[in-house]
């Protein structure tokens, strides 16, 4: 898994701005939901109940919203990439207690994997934009090495999500639109495909293609499963979830942002290299 160095040009940075924008928009919208509902993002942020929890949810939502919006601007993107990594690490840490308590429950690992994929995308941004290459503590998380670590995290996180499609195949089948044929088979197929994509990214075997396939599948999940029709449905799309638009909208945004993270992990489309930095730290005008 030796990586060849590929120079990053302002032109390639411009080409990758759409992936950064999609990632930032998804996270900003998740933050906005926390502000609107004065609560964290349902099962994706299992913050325990305590006095002042709604106020903390609003503060955290505002921080996520402002940090994500800052990625759009040349003068603030560097600081935003650093702050966002801290936020995503903290978010993943909220999943650790459940993993420790019930390590044999696949459903616990699905949530951990979804947030892990977001962390992979955030680390990809950090590796390219943080300008900490010479820092003693964080330098190893930048450049080619940092990007490869981001790919490893993302690829490993995809695997339990794919396994979830298989372990809970009946639930997965129920989420497949009824107008599609072979719904049960599609549930298995998507699970196996995600596992293969995750392994490809981890092992650096056609990892760019694997990341793009993962991004495509996730985009389909977002719009076919959690699209606008589910936001207005009178009956919840997923049994056992609360009625109303908040849960399906949150699921859509999480899925959207995971897909954007996969695009960031895929890197520069013209570099042809595994682990090529995804953007020039000097964001051009």
Q: Among residues 162, 125, 154, which one has the least CA distance to residue 13?
A: 125
**Spatial distance between the Cα atoms of 165 and 4, rounded to a whole number of angstroms:** 35
3-state secondary structure of 242: coil
Give the chain's radius of gyration (CA, Å): 18
What would you measure as the largest C-alpha separation in the chain, in angstroms? 55
> What was the pLDDT predicted at 238?
85
> What was the pLDDT predicted at 21?
94
**Spatial distance between the Cα atoms of 265 and 263, rounded to a whole number of angstroms:** 5
**Spatial distance between the Cα atoms of 267 and 66, rounded to a whole number of angstroms:** 25
Long-range contacts of 234-242 (CB under 8 A, 24+ apart): 237/175, 238/171, 238/174, 238/175, 239/171, 239/174
> What was the pLDDT predicted at 151?
96
Task: Report how many helices (DSSP H) and strands (DSSP E) the chain contains, helices first.
Answer: 11, 0
> What was the pLDDT predicted at 37?
94
> What was the pLDDT predicted at 14?
45
> What was the pLDDT predicted at 96?
93
Length of the chain counted residue by residue:
285
> What was the pLDDT predicted at 284?
34
Q: At what angle do helices 106-129 and 246-266 cross, to 10 degrees?
A: 50
> What was the pLDDT predicted at 4?
39
Angle at 134 between CA 133 and CA 135, to 5 degrees: 95
**Spatial distance between the Cα atoms of 165 and 194, rounded to a whole number of angstroms:** 9
Ranges of residues in the chain with a pLDDT under 50 are 1-14, 269-285
DSSP designation for 74:
T
Among all chains, which residue has been given the structure tokens 């990758």?
16
Who's near 83: CB < 8 A, 6+ residues apart?
Answer: 63, 67, 70
Which tens digit of pLDDT belongs to each residue from 196-208? Answer: 999 999 999 999 9
The whole-model pTM stands at 0.88
**Spatial distance between the Cα atoms of 33 and 52, rounded to a whole number of angstroms:** 18
- Asked if 55 and 37 count as a contact pair (C-beta separation under 8 A), the reply is no
> What was the pLDDT predicted at 278?
40
DSSP designation for 48:
P
| Pair of tokens at residue 258 | 């995971």
> What was the pLDDT predicted at 6?
37
Q: Among residues 106, 238, 89, which one has the least CA distance to residue 159?
A: 106
Delimit the domains of the chain by residue range: 10-266
**Spatial distance between the Cα atoms of 31 and 121, rounded to a whole number of angstroms:** 17
> What was the pLDDT predicted at 165?
94
> What was the pLDDT predicted at 232?
87
> What was the pLDDT predicted at 47?
85
């Amino acid at each position: 898994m030796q990586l060849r160095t590929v120079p990053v040009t302002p032109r390639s940075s411009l080409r990758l701005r759409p992936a950064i924008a999609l990632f930032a928009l998804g996270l900003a919208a998740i933050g906005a939901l926390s502000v609107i509902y004065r609560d964290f993002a349902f099962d994706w942020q299992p913050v325990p109940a305590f006095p002042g929890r709604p106020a903390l949810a609003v503060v955290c939502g505002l921080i996520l919203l402002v940090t994500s919006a800052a990625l759009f601007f040349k003068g603030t993107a560097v600081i935003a990439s650093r702050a966002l990594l801290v936020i995503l690490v903290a978010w993943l840490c909220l999943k650790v207690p459940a993993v420790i308590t019930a390590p044999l429950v696949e459903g616990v690992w699905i949530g951990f994997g979804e947030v892990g994929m977001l962390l992979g995308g955030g680390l990809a941004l950090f590796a390219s934009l943080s300008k900490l290459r010479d820092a003693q503590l964080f330098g190893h998380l930048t450049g080619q090495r940092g990007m490869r670590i981001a790919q490893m995290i993302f690829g490993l996180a995809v695997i339990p999500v794919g396994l979830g499609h298989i372990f809970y195949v009946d639930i997965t089948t129920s989420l497949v639109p009824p107008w599609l044929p072979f719904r049960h088979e599609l549930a298995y197929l998507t699970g196996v495909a995600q596992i293969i994509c995750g392994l490809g990214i981890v092992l650096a075997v056609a990892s760019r293609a694997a990341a793009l396939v993962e991004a495509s599948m996730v985009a389909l999940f977002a719009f076919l499963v959690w699209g606008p029709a589910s936001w207005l449905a009178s009956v919840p799309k997923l049994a056992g979830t609360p009625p109303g638009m908040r849960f399906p909208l949150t699921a859509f945004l999480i899925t959207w942002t995971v897909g954007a993270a996969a695009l960031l992990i895929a890197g520069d489309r013209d570099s042809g290299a595994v682990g090529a930095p995804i953007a020039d730290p000097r964001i051009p005008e």
